[in-house]
Amino acid sequence: MAIGALGKQMKAQHQRSSGGLSSSTKHYQSALEQYHKSLRGMRKAIASGQQDLRKALLASLLIFCFESMLGNQVTAALHAARGLTLLHPWKAGNRLHKRARATENTWEARILERELLETFHALDLQVLLFIDNRNNEAHRYTMARLNLMIKAIPQQVQNLEQAKRFWQLIFSRNCHFNQCMQLVGLEVVQEERSDTPWEGSAKFPKGVLLLSDAVEGRGLLNEEQLRYQDDIARWTSASTPLFIEIAAGTNEREKVCAAILQVQAIVSRIMLAGSFITSEMAYDVYLPEFTTITTLCDSVFLYLGSDDHEFASRFHFDIGIVAALFLVGSRCRFDIVRRKALDILFSANIREGMWDSLVVGHITHWLRSIELEHVKEGEMIPVENRAILNAMNVDLFGRRALLMASQGPKDCSLERTALITW
């Protein structure tokens, strides 16, 4: 009920209809009342010993959704991490490598529904692509388990559910790998995150943002990412006949799901390679991929923006198009494609878990503006103008962010900062 009321508040606020302010306030107060009531119920159940794993996971999931919708990203990330912490020990004790499939079926049949397990795969992606405090050992352990299941990709998937299931495994594994490439120590990160003038803001110190500090070399790691690129190619080959069939059909929901899967596959390819890209000029070769991402995201946005379907809401749980458009907006220097990505971000006005399209739109708009300084219309952005977002502090609830970027080649870059509001 709390999430439903907050969803109505977000939609009423977005529509800004006559009397919308009072309607929005009413839904907001109702949401807070129901939320506090739910928290009291959870505490009472824990105190009386009535909790079980399923209820605890559902509780962390619901709190994540509510806090994300409210704009409390750090609290949302904390509860997401707690839910994953509850989930992973069970897997460690029960999914023996030699009996992975049988154990998974037992899990689904006796403890959790498949849908809930897949929801936590999606929650893991939220943490991986936002604030992840797990160490490399935890990432490597999860990657080893996922690698075993990825081997079972068939030559051709039978349906969209199977395509999605295998892609979740690949995307999650690849994101864990990207996190392993970060060079900053967890202790340093946690200490810097606690030092913020804005209570509850999401602070990303230097070295934390993915693709913000690539390093040349790392031979064995580069070979590893090439193997993961091969997995993406295998999945793409297995799924393409299905996607062609869906594109020729009339099921709009399946078309959107297929488009998001294809977007994520392209994004993951670029992110894997990006961990080894040390010159921003190298991203220019991905113009076809950036163009495809933007085109597919536009088709998804047209569907999500429609008021005549069941998903007409500002909040969506899964990673969808916002993170992908951030990649285009920050790494694509072909202005027609970049401006299209920005247009979608500002027009969509949606939140996917902790990813808010308006925030991402304003961040990428700032990056574009400093890169275009002293550049004539139609000219390519030179290397000395290209900027990398390498730190930020986002106060989503207060609608403000402090941004820091490095502009120019790494050995002689210029530090740029800005305080943005929206």
For 259-274, what is each residue's pLDDT tens digit? 999 999 999 999 999 9
Angstrom CA distances, 260 to 144, 158, 299, 324, stand at: 26, 18, 10, 9
- Using left for φ > 0, alpha for ψ between -120 and 50, and beta otherwise, residue 402 falls in beta
Determine the Cα–Cα distance for residues 290 and 144; give it in Å rounded to an integer.
30
Instruction: Enumerate the β-bridge partners of residue 407.
Output: 387, 414
Percent pLDDT > 70 in the chain is: 74
Q: Does residue 155 have a pLDDT over 80?
A: yes
Domain coordinates in residue numbering, the chain:
52-421
Nearest to 170 by CA among 191, 148, 188, 185: 148
Whether the Cβ atoms of residue 214 and residue 274 lie closer than 8 Å to each other: yes
| Interstrand relation of 355-356 and 387-395 (parallel, antiparallel or unpaired) | unpaired
Determine the Cα–Cα distance for residues 140 and 177; give it in Å rounded to an integer.
8
Which of 14-18, 118-122, 176-180, 187-191 is predicted with the least confidence, judged by mean pLDDT? 14-18
Instruction: Enumerate the β-bridge partners of residue 21.
Output: none
The pair of three-digit structure tokens given for residue 36, joined into one six-digit string = 């506090």
pLDDT of residue 101: 47
pLDDT higher for 142 or 237?
A: 237
pLDDT of residue 84: 83
Q: What mean pLDDT comes out for the span 151-169? A: 95
Average pLDDT in the chain: 81
Residues 6 or more apart whose Cβ sits within 8 Å of residue 391 = 204, 205, 206, 208, 209, 212, 403, 404
pLDDT of residue 65: 84
Q: What mean pLDDT comes out for the span 340-367? A: 93
Nearest to 164 by CA among 251, 263, 71, 77: 263
Which of 101-115, 128-142, 176-190, 370-384 is predicted with the least confidence, judged by mean pLDDT? 101-115
Q: Does residue 111 have a pLDDT over 70?
A: no
pLDDT of residue 39: 59
Q: For the whole model, what pTM was predicted?
A: 0.82
Order of all β-strands in the sheet with 202-204: 202-204, 387-395, 400-407, 414-421
Q: What mean pLDDT comes out for the span 30-47? A: 57
Q: Does residue 98 have a pLDDT over 70?
A: no
Residues 6 or more apart whose Cβ sits within 8 Å of residue 49 = none
Q: Does residue 9 have a pLDDT over 50?
A: no
Residues 6 or more apart whose Cβ sits within 8 Å of residue 51 = 42, 45
Which of 227-236, 324-333, 351-360 is predicted with the least confidence, judged by mean pLDDT? 351-360
